[in-house]
Amino acid sequence: MELTKTACVLIDIQKESNFGIEGTEEAVKNTKHLIEECRQKGIPVIYTRHINRADGIGLSKDEPLKEDGTPVYYSSNTENIEVFDEIAPKDGEIVIDKYRWSAFYETSLDLLLRNMGVEHIIIGGFVTDGCLMTSVFDAYFRDYQVNLVHDISGASNEGAHMSAMLTMANWVYNLRIYSTEQLVNKLNNKDYKVWKSPRPDSLQFTPETMREKFDQIINFTQEGE
Amino acid sequence: MELTKTACVLIDIQKESNFGIEGTEEAVKNTKHLIEECRQKGIPVIYTRHINRADGIGLSKDEPLKEDGTPVYYSSNTENIEVFDEIAPKDGEIVIDKYRWSAFYETSLDLLLRNMGVEHIIIGGFVTDGCLMTSVFDAYFRDYQVNLVHDISGASNEGAHMSAMLTMANWVYNLRIYSTEQLVNKLNNKDYKVWKSPRPDSLQFTPETMREKFDQIINFTQEGE
Amino acid sequence: MELTKTACVLIDIQKESNFGIEGTEEAVKNTKHLIEECRQKGIPVIYTRHINRADGIGLSKDEPLKEDGTPVYYSSNTENIEVFDEIAPKDGEIVIDKYRWSAFYETSLDLLLRNMGVEHIIIGGFVTDGCLMTSVFDAYFRDYQVNLVHDISGASNEGAHMSAMLTMANWVYNLRIYSTEQLVNKLNNKDYKVWKSPRPDSLQFTPETMREKFDQIINFTQEGE
Amino acid sequence: MELTKTACVLIDIQKESNFGIEGTEEAVKNTKHLIEECRQKGIPVIYTRHINRADGIGLSKDEPLKEDGTPVYYSSNTENIEVFDEIAPKDGEIVIDKYRWSAFYETSLDLLLRNMGVEHIIIGGFVTDGCLMTSVFDAYFRDYQVNLVHDISGASNEGAHMSAMLTMANWVYNLRIYSTEQLVNKLNNKDYKVWKSPRPDSLQFTPETMREKFDQIINFTQEGE
């Protein structure tokens, strides 16, 4: 991970709370730590925000509406679309607004990353099994090397978070998974731990073995060690 | 599902067997049944094929290679890239070759579907947690109504298949899930069963409840019934 | 042109004046007339703005810079990026910011048009041979029927405007070209004049015949009449 | 132009002759020369082919049809879609089939170029004012440095060829324009001549000055020399 070719992309860490994401507070705290380190190292911090226009234009099909016709989630006329105050973008930092789960779909994210010469992305955010996972796949399709930070990420339920992590681990062949702490260690040239994909589809599972396989990821268990 | 605005998209039901997909034989048998019905009803059948060029150009990052430098999976110089003989494309049917998991990424699939006036797609294939899931999300981003056929789909392991089905059920708001049998019933204006998404993120789960939640899908359990 | 399936897309009619576009004043006056009629008929008015980030991120290659490192044209820290006051977007109207000539490249324009069920676009703006022409081609690639308004459009020089009009007339097979006046007539179900493409590449020209061929367009000369 | 980061992209140099492109024979002869040099230097040669499916699926709107319902131009059931024999792709060379003018629209061209680490493209082909020009703009949007070879390119008429060359010269800021001979000189580290864009919109013209401005390009007149 060459730092001058790296960007940090934060997916939808917004005030919207109707989905009831688990561990939001902890994730925001970790994000704060991560972006301070990134800024110090000159790694650009890029934010994405999911937006549903209050007038209903451009909504995903079957997007739920309130009685007044405005969207239940991420409505553009509410404060829910804002990034959390503690980690708000600084003046001049890039904010990508988007209408679909993936941060790459019909946005300028790829244009900007490519133009900046970015090859590695540090990524995390909400929800693991939705916007984060589809953005990670889209980053991989565009040949970015993906570094996922698991503890700035979250979902509304444990199974969804675990299974999305396992799916990305299985099919994004150049994936590296870090905790905030370990990634910060790496950025500071200290010893660090990382989970890396040893081969395609390496973490096959059943419901019964799912916890154990997921633990391999968050414990950075390297095959063969 | 207006039949004149519907197409059937089969994701990567190819001879490649190195991933060891569970239940391939059954899935191919069901696909055969499904496409015969589609053809009879005038619903276009579109095939996608995953291709890794034998010369290594365009491969996904960290794609595994054999000692001779050719790709382990879906290598263009092998028969593995062919659709299974029993369900081979008929003369004139559309075949989309692709280099990334999603069948929509840098291919002409959307161009063709849109040009044909398609609004609904019937979709299934391999692997549930990779090419199928990313294609389903990309179809949803483009406003197609998605009808997923679970028993023409499969993964290399039970957990991956189940969790990918749950993830799609949670985040593709206009999703309908059928078995081949029930979808064929529907195409023939007979009584049929279907699982439909009642609201965002409706099937939250833990490893311990995952089987039960997945069973709701394949048993077509409608909330409130 | 079914009005409920029509949108009006105004390309880069911004205060930026360093390119010295000919006839800007007249074009803005016509645009004002056009958008008032569109709004009255319920046709959505969509604005695009060309933006070059003042910090230099995302600039087109070899984009000229001032001594202070900010872009000469369309710099995000100047008023030049604003739409002209007389035709400024009303509250709630869609504004698409873009970093490349075509309004469709890595923006949400197609997502929104498609989602609204738009099939016909009314289009015009600056410059005819750059952002307008590339946007018109991109609209055509996506199967929109294109209605070009020549007198809300302009370039820095006569030759560029004429030749771009001829090129679009030759290769956008479903093109219709109007003046503001004639298009407004049409919107009001009055008699109107229009130039329409009779066949591919119908207006072949040399420098010596270019004015004459261009005049056919703006005089709405129908072949065979 | 670093040769290891360069690819040669030939746009639609196909047998289709219904458009009556001027100077086809000469362009093909030059292309033959160019690609032999490219192959010798290890520069990948990539072909694009415009295809209209004989069954009418995916056609551009208002694409002309024959009485039997098949497309007049580039019909997939005719030999017209083949590259000219003299310059036919060698075994293993990349051929991109496409349904819209631009070679980048819903094809894998960008995926492959990007994956190969290409930064510079050598480009030319037919028709200058259609597929070639839209492909050049799309290459520029993706930050490729574009080297246009004017004498492997052509249009159905003189005005179209000239004006498209002028338009690209004005708005593709990193453009270089060569003749085959001069580009081959460059590839062989000999003295060569080139036209390069000195600044945005540098070749403004009227019908009366068009020939003279165009001559500046093909005579490689550098401003200030």
User: Between chains, do B166 and A163 touch, taking CB under 8 Å as contact?
Assistant: yes
The three-point CA angle D36-B98-D109 to 5° equals: 40
Q: What is the mean pLDDT of residues A218-222?
A: 92
Residue among A114, A142, A143 minimizing CB distance to D143: A114
User: Between chains, do A112 and C59 touch, taking CB under 8 Å as contact?
Assistant: no
Q: What is the pLDDT of residue C224?
A: 56
CB D128 within 8 A of CB D153: yes
User: Between chains, do C115 and A55 touch, taking CB under 8 Å as contact?
Assistant: no
Q: Which of C104, C118, C143 to mutate to test the interface with B (most CBs of B within 10 A)?
A: C143
User: Between chains, do B157 and A130 touch, taking CB under 8 Å as contact?
Assistant: no
CB B181 within 8 A of CB B133: no
What distance in Å separates residue A106's CA from the closest CA in chain B?
10
Residue among C55, C99, C109 minimizing CB distance to A92: C55
Q: What is the pLDDT of residue D224?
A: 56
Q: Locate C218 and state its tokens.
A: 């703006």
What distance in Å separates residue D182's CA from the closest CA in chain C?
23
Residue among C55, C58, C112 minimizing CB distance to A108: C58
Is residue B225 over pLDDT 60?
A: no
Whose structure tokens read 């469709």?
A: C104
Question: What pLDDT, in 10s, does the model give residues A102-128?
Answer: 999 999 999 999 999 999 999 999 999
Q: Locate C222 and state its tokens.
A: 């129908």
* DSSP annotation string for C119-177: -EEEEEEB-IIIIIHHHHHHHHHTT-EEEEEGGG-B-SSHHHHHHHHHHHHHH-TT-EE
Residue C68 CB-half CA count within 13 A? 6
Q: Which residues pair with D48 in a beta bridge?
A: D11, D96
B211 contacts chain C (CB < 8 A): no
Q: Which of C45, C101, C115, C118 to mutate to test the interface with A (most CBs of A within 10 A)?
A: C115
Question: How far is A47 from A116, CA to CA, in rounded Å?
Answer: 16
Which residue, C56, A60, C10, A64, is CA-closest to B138?
A: A60
Q: What is the pLDDT of residue D18?
A: 83
Question: How far is A46 from A112, CA to CA, in rounded Å?
Answer: 10
Which residue in chain B has the smallest CA separation from D108?
A: B106
Q: Going by C-beta distance under 8 Å and a sequence separation of 6 or more, which residues neighbour residue D212? A: none
CB D90 within 8 A of CB D56: no
CB A84 within 8 A of CB D113: no
Per-residue pLDDT of chain C (225 residues; tens, 9 = 90+): 899 999 999 999 999 988 889 899 999 999 999 999 999 999 999 999 999 999 999 999 999 999 999 999 999 999 999 999 999 999 999 999 999 999 999 999 999 999 999 999 999 999 999 999 999 999 999 999 999 999 999 999 999 999 999 999 999 999 999 999 999 999 999 999 999 999 999 999 999 999 999 999 999 998 755
Q: Cα B157 to chain center, whole Å?
A: 16
A35 contacts chain B (CB < 8 A): no
Q: Which of the four pLDDT bands, split at 50, 70 and 90, describes residue B224?
A: low
B76 contacts chain D (CB < 8 A): no
Q: Which domain holds residue C197?
A: 3-223
What distance in Å separates residue B153's CA from the closest CA in chain A?
16
Is residue B201 over pLDDT 80?
A: yes
Q: Going by C-beta distance under 8 Å and a sequence separation of 6 or more, which residues neighbour residue D166? A: C159, C160, C163, D203, D205, D210, D213, D214, D217
User: Between chains, do B59 and D115 touch, taking CB under 8 Å as contact?
Assistant: yes
Question: In this structure, what are the phi and psi dihedrals at residue C159, rounded to the nearest 5 degrees?
Answer: -60, -40
Q: What is the pLDDT of residue B111?
A: 98
Is residue D225 over pLDDT 70?
A: no
Measured between its terminal Cα atoms, the distance across chain B in Å is: 23
The domain spanning residue D148 has which CATH number?
A: 3.40.50.850
Average pLDDT of the residues of chain D: 96
Residue among D143, D163, D209 minimizing CB distance to C167: D163
Residue among B57, B92, B99 minimizing CB distance to D116: B57
D114 contacts chain A (CB < 8 A): yes
CB C31 within 8 A of CB C10: yes
HEC readout, B205-223:
CCCCCHHHHHHHHHCCCCC
Question: How far is B211 from B224, CA to CA, in rounded Å?
Answer: 20
* DSSP annotation string for chain C: --GGGEEEEEE--BS--TT--TTHHHHHHHHHHHHHHHHHHT--EEEEEE-B-TT-TTPPTT--B-TTSSBSSSBTTSGGGSBPGGGPPPTT-EEEEESSSSTTTTSSHHHHHHHTT--EEEEEEB-IIIIIHHHHHHHHHTT-EEEEEGGG-B-SSHHHHHHHHHHHHHH-TT-EEE-HHHHHHHHTT-----EE--STT-----TTTHHHHHHHHHTTPPTT-
- Report, in this order, helix, strand and coil percent for chain D, each rounded to 5: 35, 20, 45
- Using an 8 Å CB-CB cutoff, list chain A residues near B197: 62
Question: What pLDDT, in 10s, does the model give residues A60-89?
Answer: 999 999 999 999 999 999 999 999 999 999
- Using an 8 Å CB-CB cutoff, list chain D residues near A114: 142-143
Q: What is the mean pLDDT of residues A143-160?
A: 97
Question: How far is D112 from B107, CA to CA, in rounded Å?
Answer: 12
Q: What is the pLDDT of residue D204?
A: 96
User: Which amino acid appears at position B151 of this protein?
Assistant: D
Question: How far is B47 from B27, CA to CA, in rounded Å?
Answer: 15
Question: What pLDDT, in 10s, does the model give residues B162-191?
Answer: 999 999 999 999 999 999 999 999 999 999
Q: What is the mean pLDDT of residues D167-188?
A: 98
Q: What is the pLDDT of residue B19?
A: 82
D160 contacts chain B (CB < 8 A): no
User: Between chains, do C163 and D166 touch, taking CB under 8 Å as contact?
Assistant: yes
A108 contacts chain D (CB < 8 A): no
Q: Going by C-beta distance under 8 Å and a sequence separation of 6 or more, which residues neighbour residue A223? A: A198, A202
User: Between chains, do A156 and B208 touch, taking CB under 8 Å as contact?
Assistant: no
Overall number of domains in chain B: 1
Question: How far is B158 from B129, CA to CA, in rounded Å?
Answer: 10
What distance in Å separates residue B33's CA from the closest CA in chain A?
29
Question: What pLDDT, in 10s, does the model give residues D84-103?
Answer: 999 999 999 999 999 999 99
Question: How far is A80 from C205, CA to CA, in rounded Å?
Answer: 57
Residue among B114, B115, B143 minimizing CB distance to C115: B143
Question: How far is A136 from A123, CA to CA, in rounded Å?
Answer: 8
Q: What is the pLDDT of residue D17?
A: 83
Question: How far is C168 from C143, CA to CA, in rounded Å?
Answer: 15
Q: What is the pLDDT of residue D19?
A: 83
Q: Locate A116 and state its tokens.
A: 């900046």
Q: What is the pLDDT of residue A17?
A: 83
Q: What is the pLDDT of residue D192?
A: 97
What distance in Å separates residue D17's CA from the closest CA in chain C?
14
For chain D, the C-alpha Rg in angstroms (whole number) is 17
Residue A207: DSSP 8-state: T
Neighbours of chain A (3+ CB pairs under 8 A): B, C, D
- Using an 8 Å CB-CB cutoff, list chain B residues near A102: 137, 141
The three-point CA angle D49-D55-D61 to 5° equals: 70
- List helix spans (H) across chain B: 24-41, 109-115, 133-141, 158-171, 180-187, 210-218
Question: What pLDDT, in 10s, does the model give residues B111-150?
Answer: 999 999 999 999 999 999 999 999 999 999 999 999 999 9
Question: How far is A192 from C103, CA to CA, in rounded Å?
Answer: 44
